[in-house]
Amino acid sequence: MNDKNKIIAGLIIFGVIITFPLWYNMGKASPVPEPELTTTAKAAKQCVRETEYMTAEHMQLLDVWRDSVVRYGKRIYVNSSGKEFDMSLSNTCLDCHSNKAEFCDRCHTYASVDPYCWDCHIDNPKEKE
Amino acid sequence: MNVNYIFSLIVVVVLFLLAYVGVEAAGLQVFFGVIIPYLALVIFIVGFFYRVMGWARSTVPFRIPTTCGQQESLPWIKQNKIDNPSTLLHVLVRMALEVLLFRSLFRNSRMELKNSRLSYKLEIWLWLFSLAFHYSFLVVLVRHLRFFLEPVPFIIKQIEVVDGFFRIEFVSEVLTVGLPGIYISGLVLLAAVTFLFLRRIFIPQVRYISLAADYFPLFLIMGIAITGIMMRYFTKVDVVGVKELTLGLATFHPTIPEGVGGLFYVHLFFVSTLFAYFPFSKLMHLGGVFLSPTRNLANNNRAVRHINPWNYPVPVHTYEEYEDEFREKMVGVGLPVEKE
């Protein structure tokens, strides 16, 4: 027997599946997101720590903060240059970065990351919907 | 020490150094980030199609299914429909069980002498770990589509949510593990591929038949898993930059972003190597499992007439023609004839 037609049909289906990313994105412009800094954030020049560290490790830092506050009651964070910060997502981070949609969400959405910070911490009340 | 796995290990280490040094020292980002991935994809697709068409060209003259159950027979004899399929539907069930659940591997048994008596034992670990290996690899592969699709489809996000179901977190001053959230598939993949490797090392019979071509994909996949886990949980990588590169590849507008480290290019190079190596290796069982004639054919040799596809017309002289030719002579000598 000779099932060449069936095999070719199967190969075509396979080819369509593996090239899915190539034709799914066709004709869609997807610019790289740029997180937007508020004027307060720009004026502060530096975050809690240097920018490279914050970009890569901010989730780690927030996790350490959460443990420190919730489990040990320690609320003061001292960075390498001796500056003190209140360990608080809502009051410290979101005070400068009050624009969650333009600052946090842009990269998170682009990279398909869904942090569970926002399960409890609602958007900064200062931000107008 | 075994020359086969040492050789494979050295090859993988050399590949690692090639990509790492090439990017970190020689600045070959375009080569390892754009040219190699495209080349690998082309080799994969062309090679895969070529191999499968090679199998398609070799005609199977007769149905040769391996069976391990009662064939379709008289109505009062119960047929084993899955192990001895006689219709397309039975074959589909049999193939689905094989492709999705590795049924023939599950039926694997181990023979051993116990108190000088021969006994057969269920050998479940290979089946279990290869099932874990293949499915976690599939989840890892599908999950990575988030780097190649924009916007990321809902279904991909849901797979990530399920994959990140276990929220394992360890927080300390020196080491924090668990953020970003742990994907269980990556760890299962590494554990399973390690099992598949150790099995080849520690079971003497399996070690004896293992070649460099058996170890190489295992080391390569180990390398892919380890570099991936390193990037996600330990050394960190600029995910937005990575997506800029991968999405650039998917949309044919390749760009090389700043600040993506050598480890990412190693990961990409390993994956490209795996794709390029695929059509030339045992990994082709991805296509082969669908095309094995001992499993994908119905056992209906007795019920249906199968004509050999390369039969050519043969001139024959039937008995009717013979009788027509010699009837008078046959009647003359008193031989019986069918038509008077």
Residues A63/A69, Cβ–Cβ less than 8 Å: no
B307 closest CA partner among B60, B14, B117: B60
B-chain residues within 8 Å CB-CB of A109? 151
Measure the CA–CA gap between B109 and B196, rounded to whole angstroms: 17
Closest chain B residue to A12, measured at CA: B49
Provide mean pLDDT across the span B239-260: 89
Q: State whether A111 and B178 contact (CB < 8 Å).
A: no
Provide mean pLDDT across the span A52-69: 85
CA distance A7 to chain B (A): 7
B-chain residues within 8 Å CB-CB of A78? none
Measure the CA–CA gap between A65 and A48, rounded to whole angstroms: 12
Residues B269-308 have pLDDT tens digits of: 999 999 999 999 999 999 999 998 899 999 988 888 887 7
Closest chain B residue to A63, measured at CA: B171
B159 closest CA partner among B174, B175, B180, B144: B144
Q: Has residue B127 got a pLDDT over 90? A: yes
Residue type, B132: A
Residue B139, helix vs strand vs coil? helix
Which CATH number is correct for B67-261+285-332, 2.60.40, 1.10.3470, 1.10.8, 1.20.950? Answer: 1.20.950
Q: Is B42 on the interface with A (CB under 8 A)?
A: no
User: What pLDDT does A128 receive?
Assistant: 43
B119: burial class by Cβ within 10 Å (0-12, 13-18, 19+)?
A: exposed
Q: State whether A114 and B55 contact (CB < 8 Å).
A: no
User: What pLDDT does A99 receive?
Assistant: 83
Chain A, residues 60-89, CB within 8 A of chain B, namely 60, 62-64, 67
Give the mean pLDDT of chain B.
Answer: 91
Q: State whether B306 and A24 contact (CB < 8 Å).
A: no
- Using CA atoms, how far residue B1 sits from A26, B5, B130, B202, B208, in Å, is 51, 8, 25, 12, 13
CA distance B289 to chain A (A): 12
Q: Has residue B47 got a pLDDT over 50? A: yes
Closest chain B residue to A56, measured at CA: B236
Q: State whether A113 and B239 contact (CB < 8 Å).
A: yes
Q: Has residue B40 got a pLDDT over 90? A: yes
User: What pLDDT does A61 receive?
Assistant: 86
Q: State whether B150 and A28 contact (CB < 8 Å).
A: yes
ipTM associated with this complex: 0.85
CA distance A21 to chain B (A): 6
Residue ranges in chain B assigned as alpha helix (H): 3-24, 29-30, 36-57, 88-101, 103-106, 125-143, 154-163, 184-202, 204-209, 212-229, 239-250, 262-277, 285-291, 319-332
pLDDT confidence of A26, banded at 50, 70, 90?
confident
Q: Is B157 on the interface with A (CB under 8 A)?
A: yes
Q: Which residue has the higher pLDDT, B234 or B42?
A: B42
Q: State whether A11 and B49 contact (CB < 8 Å).
A: yes
Q: What are the sequence ranges of the domains in chain B?
A: 67-261+285-332
Share of chain A above pLDDT 70, in %: 91
* CA torsion through residues B22, B28, B33, B38, sign: negative
CA distance A118 to chain B (A): 15
pTM comes to: 0.88
Q: Has residue A37 got a pLDDT over 90? A: no
Measure the CA–CA gap between B242 and B158, rounded to whole angstroms: 21
* CA torsion through residues B206, B212, B217, B218, sign: positive
| Helical pair B3-24 and B212-229, crossing angle rounded to 10 deg | 40
User: What pLDDT does B311 receive?
Assistant: 80
Residue type, B172: S
Provide mean pLDDT across the span B180-209: 92
- Phi/psi at A85 (5° precision): -135, 145
Q: Has residue B106 got a pLDDT over 80? A: yes
B50: burial class by Cβ within 10 Å (0-12, 13-18, 19+)?
A: exposed
Residues A99/A27, Cβ–Cβ less than 8 Å: no
| Helical pair B184-202 and B125-143, crossing angle rounded to 10 deg | 140
Residues B297/B64, Cβ–Cβ less than 8 Å: yes
Residue ranges in B26-102 assigned as alpha helix (H): 29-30, 36-57, 88-101
Q: Has residue A120 got a pLDDT over 80? A: no
pLDDT confidence of A1, banded at 50, 70, 90?
low
Q: Has residue B128 got a pLDDT over 60? A: yes
Q: State whether B306 and A1 contact (CB < 8 Å).
A: yes
B178 closest CA partner among A97, A20, A63, A105: A63
User: What pLDDT does A11 receive?
Assistant: 94
Pairing of strands B170-171, A76-78: unpaired
Q: Which of B52, B64, B150 to mutate to test the interface with A (most CBs of A within 10 A)?
A: B150
Residues B230-240 have pLDDT tens digits of: 998 888 888 88
Q: Has residue A127 got a pLDDT over 50? A: no
Closest chain A residue to B248, measured at CA: A30
A vs B, Cβ pairs < 8 A, gives: 96
> Residue A26 is encoded by which pair of tokens?
């066709």
pLDDT confidence of A58, banded at 50, 70, 90?
confident
Closest chain A residue to B237, measured at CA: A56
> Residue B60 is encoded by which pair of tokens?
């199977």
pLDDT confidence of B163, banded at 50, 70, 90?
very high
Give the mean pLDDT of chain A.
Answer: 83
User: What pLDDT does A38 receive?
Assistant: 84
Closest chain A residue to B250, measured at CA: A22
Task: Report the Cα B282 to chain-centroid distance in Å.
Answer: 8
